[in-house]
Structure 1
Amino acid sequence: MICAMTRFVALLRAVNIGGGSSMAMVELRQVLADSGFSDVQTYIQSGNVVLDADTDDEAEVVARIRRGISDKWGKDVPVLVRSHDEMKAIVAANPYLDVEDDLTKLHVTFLDAVPAADKAAALVPPPGETGVLTLLGREIFLHVPGGYGRTKLQNVFVERKTGTVSTTRNWKSVLKLTELVAG
């Protein structure tokens, strides 16, 4: 029986940012191939993966990736996945493209779930913050004029306010991953 393949972007949180989070991307590709995924590609050394799955069930894809990583490295790494259509919609929805020419000031924070309404309402920049954000579904679009390294709108802030798991990618990575997931 031939199963239709679904192409996903998998975003691993806190991979290769220092300390004990290192994973060789060649090994990660092999682990994911051994977990039943095909056409596995990685982009840069920070946990960005594009792959084909024999299912369109996002939860199953996440579980298989996490299990493979846990079996190989003994780590419980948060994983968020998006389909090709979702990535295209994210690129089209960025509300800050018309206000910022420097794409290094634009980021997307991916969430594992849509925040509850009360949590979403609490997602406002703290006093003195120059960055702004817009929540659309499971993504938060960031415009950080001072740079991501200087903003308070990082994952810790987002997770505390929304009660979700999150990971952030710069706009260049979002564009490249969207290109790669298109096949």
Structure 2
Amino acid sequence: MTTYAALLRGINVGGKKKLPMAELRRLMEGLGHDGVRTHLQSGQAVFTSGHGDEESLAAELADAIEKHFGFSVDVIVRDHAYLEAVAAACPFPAAELEAKQLHVTYFSAPVDAARFAEIDREAYLPEEFRLGERELYLYAPDGLGRSKLAEHLAKSRINKGVIATTRNWNTVVKLVELTAE
């Protein structure tokens, strides 16, 4: 059995795509997953499974959500080892920053630096980002809601063809903890 986190994009935000966490847990248990727990209302579920891989589990859950709730939700599934490696590889001094200043965007597939070549990084300073293989680390000193760089990253063609969902540093760390149990 492997422990995973499911990251759901854009649920329970602004009264749209309401997805009660208790119903999500029951739905996931109905798919044969064990130890299903949710974290916050913003779309994180931790579970164990002995079947499938990250991509098939994400597709299965997205399909089940659409059938049960009547709307589509992008889902990314990652195992504990990946989540732990992402937290450990943070290129910014996470221990010195407030959680609202540091974020990780998880991508459904690897992304290369060419996607980000058109960004004038100096124009957004002191905001910065660093790219991993399937993740992007964002330092936004005034928070995500005021970040011009985050806005540009979200609205640009950079994300074309991949699912992208962002979590603050507290959630990144909590998912590592929850998937380790």
Same fold, TM-score > 0.5, yes or no: yes
Q: Could you tell me how far 1:38 is from its partner in structure 2?
A: 1.1
Percent identity between the aligned chains? Answer: 36
Residues 137 and 176 of structure 1: CA distance in aligned 2, closer, same or farther (over 3 Å): same
Q: Measure, in 2, the Cα distance between the counterparts of 1:98 and 1:47.
A: 23
Alignment of 1:136-155 (within 5 A): 136-154=132-150
Give the aligned partner of residue 84 of structure 1: 80
Q: Could you tell me how far 1:91 is from its partner in structure 2?
A: 0.9
SS class of match (1:107): strand
Counterpart selection for 2:91 from 90, 95, 101: 95
Unpaired runs of 5+ in structure 1? none
Do structure 1's residue 63 and structure 2's residue 59 form an aligned pair?
yes
Q: Give the RMSD, CA atoms, in angstroms.
A: 2.0
Give the aligned partner of residue 172 of structure 2: 174
Do structure 1's residue 23 and structure 2's residue 19 form an aligned pair?
yes
SS class of match (1:134): strand
Give the aligned partner of residue 153 of structure 2: 157
**Cα shift readout 1:41-88 (whole Å, capped 9, x = no counterpart):** 000000001011122511210111112101111111000111110011
SS class of match (2:16): helix
Give the aligned partner of residue 126 of structure 2: 130
Q: Measure, in 1, the Cα distance between the counterparts of 2:17 and 2:174.
A: 23
Residues 174 and 122 of structure 1: CA distance in aligned 2, closer, same or farther (over 3 Å): same
Q: Could you tell me how far 1:114 is from its partner in structure 2?
A: 1.2
Q: Could you tell me how far 1:37 is from its partner in structure 2?
A: 1.1
Residues 63 and 98 of structure 1: CA distance in aligned 2, closer, same or farther (over 3 Å): closer
Q: Measure, in 1, the Cα distance between the counterparts of 2:72 and 2:41.
A: 18
Residues 131 and 55 of structure 1: CA distance in aligned 2, closer, same or farther (over 3 Å): same
SS class of match (2:123): coil
CA contact (8 A) 1:129 1:151 kept: no
CA contact (8 A) 2:124 2:148 kept: no
Tell me the TM-score normalized by structure 2.
0.90
Please tell me the residue identity of whatever aligns with 2:48.
Answer: D
Please tell me the residue identity of whatever aligns with 2:163.
Answer: V
Unpaired runs of 5+ in structure 2? none
SS class of match (1:21): coil
Residues 98 and 41 of structure 1: CA distance in aligned 2, closer, same or farther (over 3 Å): closer
Aligned length: 179
Give the aligned partner of residue 75 of structure 1: 71
Q: Measure, in 1, the Cα distance between the counterparts of 2:168 and 2:74.
A: 18
Q: Measure, in 2, the Cα distance between the counterparts of 1:120 and 1:69.
A: 32
Tell me the TM-score normalized by structure 1.
0.89
SS class of match (1:7): strand
Q: Could you list the structure 1 runs, at least 4 aligned residues long, displaced by more than 6 angstroms after superposition.
A: none
**Cα shift readout 1:128-181 (whole Å, capped 9, x = no counterpart):** 453110001111011101111011333772462242221000000111111000
